[in-house]
Structure 1
Amino acid sequence: MSAETSMTSHPIVEQLTERFVASVIRSSTFRGNLRVLVERSGLIEVLTFLKQEAGYAFLSELGGVDYLGYPERSEGARFEVHYVLLKQETSERIIIKVGVDDPDPSLPSAMPLWGGADWMEREVFDMYGIRFEGHPDLRRILMPDEFTSYPLRKDYPLRGRGERHNFPKITREQS
């Protein structure tokens, strides 16, 4: 039996598939979690529906993945951003995934729906270089402003590119 199975029988997936025919690409379950892959163009509408009408009001996680060179992946975008939503009344979770590709990966910001997406989007931007259109303060959060690379991309060398010179030296007297 495959670890990934179709979830067409789950009520929320059926609602999403009926309401957002052009946006829902596929759905699956993995280790008990519902996962729905959606088109970039319908992302905000799907997230808005899940929050305002379906009761998935809590954005518990927003993160990124780089699939460059992934052995079992022959199709799809290089990057995926996932939104883990929680329905607090029932503790149900749903993971909304959206693909985004080079050369200029960008998605609409979820900040209008969840203020808590602020720092999560900034972290994904800082580590993967994925821009969030409409984000009010999209800037680096973990790396120095002078840093020009994105360390969680698969094409980033394990030993870095000599960026250490970009980090200011702090002596014991300064700290």
Structure 2
Amino acid sequence: MSLAALLVLAGCGLGGRMSAQECMERAMYFESNRSSRDGMVAVGSVVMNRVQSGQYPRSVCGVVGQKNQFASGVLSRKMNDRSLPKVREAARSVLRGERHPLIGNAMFFHTAGYRFPYDNMQYVLTTGGNAFYERRKRHLVTRPVPPRPIEGITGR
């Protein structure tokens, strides 16, 4: 594992209480509605894009815990249902390097079906109940409307 990867995984959590694994699980659990592995990996890919961008905190927990960026209570609410083993496996896989093949450099998403009046949103994927996008200069946006959902792609 590279030094950069170790730094990303180290020091996560508020006061060091949570691991990168736990924070990634929480982002996937609360943001993808656990609807599909595809959606969870897409959320995890966005988290890792932010960690590696230099524009956001340099740890998974730092990114997930950033105010007003992820679901309210993402680091404190209870997670309890039968999907937890699937969430844990997807989080582990993303932390080991798996990325959704269609996410590219996207660092943003919102609930699928919502519309926003902004003209800088380049949509790359709709899956797991979310529409994923990159922010671009207006004249570089070629896909201003989210694509139809693609379910069943696992990224492998």
Q: TM-score, normalised by structure 1?
A: 0.26
Instruction: Say which structure is richer in strand.
Output: 1
Instruction: Say which structure is richer in helix.
Output: 2
Higher relative CO (CA 8 A, sep ≥ 6), structure 1 or 2?
A: 2
Q: TM-score, normalised by structure 2?
A: 0.28
Greater gyration radius: 1
